[in-house]
A and B are shown apart, each in its own frame.
Chain A
Amino acid sequence: MAKVTVDGITVEVPNGSNVLQACEAAGKEIPRFCYHERLSVAGNCRMCLVEIEKAPPKPFASCAYPVADGMVVHTDTPMVKAARRGVMEFLLINHPLDCPICDQGGECDLQDQSMGYGGDTSRYHENKRAVTNKDLGPLVKTVMTRCIHCTRCIRFSTEIAGVPEMGATARGESMEVGTYISKALSSELSGNLIDICPVGALTSKPYAFVARPWELKKTDSVDVLDAVGAAIRVDTRGSEVLRVLPRINEDVNEEWLADKSRFALDGLKRRRLDTPWVKREGKLARTTWPEAFAAIEAKLTGLSGDRIGAVAGNLCDAESMLALKHVMAALGSTNLDCRQDGAALDPSRREFFTFNTSIAGIEEADALIIIGSNPRHEAPLINARIRKRSLMGAFPIAHIGVAADLTYRHQYLGGTPQLLAGLRDGSNAFASVLRGAKKPMMIVGQGALARPDGAAILAACWALAAETGMLTPDWNGFNVLQTAAGRVAGLELGFATGKTLAQMLGGGVDLLWLLGADEFDAAAIGPNTFVVYQGHHGDRGAARADVILPGAAYTEKNGTYISTEGRVQRGALAVFPPGEAKEDWKILRAFSALIGKPLPYDNLEALRMCLVQENPLFDRLDILPHFGCSDTTGPVSVGAVGDALFEPAIENYYMTDPISRASPTMAACIEAQKHPKTPAESAMAAE
């Protein structure tokens, strides 16, 4: 530890810290543009200048100057003030004064800091330089004249995203930040460039000219478009969700957010179910709530519980799944399934279906094997954490599955599950790497489990984990990477009993209640099965439905979700559901009253009490204790591991659920991926 005095306040900071961190520890604000605590130090904006006693009499860039014991730093001397004002004047020489038409206005570091540290007038009368805009694809809009060359975007894409596509070309006054060859960014984390850009050079393309930050109502919530459970802030105006931004959660997403979670929100306004529908003479017709309920009730008459089934979708909150389970119980049915892809997830023990190491725990691991998964597409934020660990060094990674660029160096072993046998008997060279590691970990994807021999593969993976020292009382290195935000909560609530989805299809039940379930082939439902679709989008499930009950999307309800880690988190209502749509548990509560078996809760608090009674895990909000593994008994193995090659768990990263399928922005991302623009088209698009 080093003792540093900042403006008379003495603080102790770890050796190797820089002066800027010491100043922050002392509670002093240091202006900066290029310095970012999660990126490497560039030291090129020169805004963080401070004065250091007994050092050469000049201002020092505090972000790039290491602390020393006994150092005395001043942040408010006349020299520091004059130096910062000078730097600000230089920065503003080539910066256009277009704040009134700039989307960064109101949340711009340059705007704020020029108010705080800049001069009051401009002394510059010469021509400013202008820079042509770049086309970075459908998500990031560029106004490159505003760029102050802090290089944060370059460092982010190189270091965090692992897709080195941004760079600074030419030099001096001709220097430009961009991709040189015009191409859309190929990262799933590109939206974060918008957040780290301290000026309005990189802004959100779909959000361009939409709103000012002070007009927005901000609601803290949690993301459900993958199973990571990233912390988000939903910005709304009136009844519209205008943008989604990440919140800091060091244990989950740090301060990043994946592109789908950030940009699929325009899907919330399209293809919405805002009124109940009933199928009459083969055609869906708008109707009222009482009539829709009556249609279901009529169908239920005389139906035995065994002929009724329910399927919960990937975006479902725990409250509505519990309410549906209770309704089903009232109808005498235990046919529940929340595994639409047919993944062989063993619900008997939490460790068999969660990411036990935890996301932050990845940084402790020292070897990794990925089986049947592409974390870059299934959970970009977990992939970023693996990359972060990979950059720290001494972290061998092997991959079995569909070969892919995972953004970090890894050894590709092959695509067949038969490789597991070689790893277990030690004939595969990577087996000794796993055995030699102190904290090895394994990630098993849905691509390995959603197949006929999934149960056998799960058991083989667990056995491999047990044999290679992944399961010890201090360390649990066995991880199942879920792709659906509602899956873990569903399994925790016992929403996987009775007939499976496959058994309910093809006439296995006479009434099928789909709670936002769209990720299976609806054509496989038997022709005589009466389908109730409760959800928020007119997607695959609604197209096959006989009755549609309009529900709420994740931004429109207070819901509890369990991430793939097993972390219980709550999303919050940011806007009300559109039209006649209602929060899902309320729909089920109302229906239960109609059939004469009212659910025992009338408000959210009572329902959440029920959740905790059902499973005490729901009381453990936001906290994730670090467990080892005390019981190495594996899941039940069924059959043998086949030799069919692994297939991707999700076909396309940008469209995995009803919201992203309805999103024009996500469609544009796919289009940009499939048909890259020619340089001429790109130049047109940039302007």
Chain B
Amino acid sequence: MTEPTAFSFDAESQALVDGAIAKYPPGKQASAVLPLLDIAQRQIGRLTGSAWLPTVAMDEVGRVLDMPNIRVYEVATFYLMFNIKPVGHFHLQVCGTTPCWLRGSDEVARACREFTGIKGYGETSADGYFTLSEVECLGACVNAPVLQVNDDYYEDMNAPRVAELLTALKRGEHPLRGPMNGRQNSAPEGGPATLLTIPAE
């Protein structure tokens, strides 16, 4: 993926851009920098399959919002959700914070590495399909460990499920997100553990 030389919002994005700017009072349009960066990153992802923010896209956001480019760079580099380097089609984000780590996030990360051939965090696989990142708490601790792929959470992961998921993704399928062990949302594993009988009156 080479650095593009130009960027502009397409019609689909432009509608979202106008909506984002309209949320703020006139003159305070710079407040829309986060949504605009997100719109730009998604547009690039939609068009090229790699959702990232080249410098030209950040410059365009600065131009649209009438703010110095460096202020846009500061925001874009601060948030890990913005990729300032090209990523693969599937951005694998392994949660490594304590609950996930206790429940086996190391195993999830190892399985990701083995399947994709990636050596360490931040790298992209040779086939360009996968990028592996470590992220902080995704807020889904009840279903730890969690692997986020692009926008979707895949929960209750282990090594075989990672391999199965990534195989399916590579085939072009879109497996149902959520708990991978069959439970409903964050209900107890293996069925209900309390309130098994309804006490008689």
Contact = CB atoms under 8 A, between A and B. Distances in A.
B1 to A, nearest CB: 16
B68 A170 contact: no
A158 B67 CA distance: 12
6 contacts: A158-B68, A166-B70, A169-B74, A169-B78, A179-B70, A180-B77
A167 interface: yes
A54 interface: no
A167 B78 CA distance: 12
B85 interface: no
A674 interface: no
Which 4 residue pairs are nearest across A and B when measured between Cβ atoms?
A164-B68, A167-B70, A169-B77, A180-B73
Contact of A171 (B69, B70, B78): B78
A167 B55 contact: no
B71 interface: yes
Contacts of B78: 169-171
A9 interface: no
A170 B76 CA distance: 8
A171 B68 CA distance: 19
A509 to B, nearest CB: 54
Contacts of B74: 167-169, 180
Nearest to B74: A167
Q: Classify the secondary structure of B's interface with A.
A: helix
A597 to B, nearest CB: 63
Contacts of A169: 73-74, 77-78
A389 B9 CA distance: 37
A621 interface: no
A181 interface: yes
Interface string A47-72: 00000000000000000000000000
Given A164-B68, A165-B70, 6 more contacts: A158-B68, A167-B70, A167-B71, A167-B73, A180-B74, A180-B77
A103 B130 CA distance: 46
Contacts of A171: 77-78
Nearest to A167: B70
Contacts of A166: 70
Interface string A326-358: 000000000000000000000000000000000
Interface string B31-74: 00000000000000000000000010000000000001111011
Nearest to B80: A171
A9 B74 CA distance: 43
Contacts of A165: 68, 70
Contacts of B68: 158, 164-165
B61 to A, nearest CB: 14
Interface in A610-635: none
Nearest to B78: A171
B52 to A, nearest CB: 15
A290 B44 CA distance: 78
Contacts of B69: 181
A179 B74 CA distance: 10
A158 B77 CA distance: 19
B77 A164 contact: no
A180 B78 CA distance: 12
A162 to B, nearest CB: 10
B190 to A, nearest CB: 40
Contacts of B71: 164, 167
Contacts of A179: 70
A476 to B, nearest CB: 35
A164 B73 CA distance: 12
B70 A170 contact: no
Interface in A135-172: 158, 164-171
Contacts of A168: 74
A181 B73 CA distance: 9
A169 B77 CA distance: 6
A156 to B, nearest CB: 13
